[in-house]
Amino acid sequence: RKEVEQDPGPFNVPEGATVAFNCTYSNSASQSFFWYRQDCRKEPKLLMSVYSSGNEDGRFTAQLNRASQYISLLIRDSKLSDSATYLCVVPRGTSYGKLTFGQGTILTVHP
């Protein structure tokens, strides 16, 4: 089993839609989790950190289910500018520094 697994998509949704991505991780000792977004040929940008059961920032909500070892990202009222690849990221075990990336979920928001 890969350390971090995501549904690669692509997800194609209309503007205004609500879309959710799931991510599963293998290391039950992981304490923190991140969602990054990456636009084509650009650097990953930190979208959200998750340390407890979840986090919310405007239209974005992340939820953590430790028992099932998955993290979800919910985007409400999708905008065209939300089109990107969303990366689920987990520090490797309890070792700081080594971030393990999922393969990314591609989101395209269309008019």
Partner 1 sequence: AAGVIQSPRHLIKEKRETATLKCYPIPRHDTVYWYQQGPGQDPQFLISFYEKMQSDKGSIPDRFSAQQFSDYHSELNMSSLELGDSALYFCASSLWVGVNEQYFGPGTRLTVT
For partner 1, the binding residues in 27-56 under the rule CB under 8 A are 32, 34, 41-46, 49
The binding track of 62-91 with respect to partner 1, each residue x by CB under 8 A or -, is: -------------------------x---x
Question: Is 4 buried (19+), middle (13-18) or exposed (0-12) by CB count in 10 A?
Answer: buried
Distances in Å between the alpha carbon of 26 and those of 9, 43, 53, 69, 73? 20, 25, 17, 7, 18
Of 48 and 75, nearer to partner 1 (C-beta) is: 48
CB of 95 to partner 1, least distance (A): 6
Distances in Å between the alpha carbon of 106 and those of 7, 51, 103? 9, 24, 10
Residues that bind partner 1 (CB under 8 A): 32, 34, 41-46, 49, 87, 91-92, 95-104
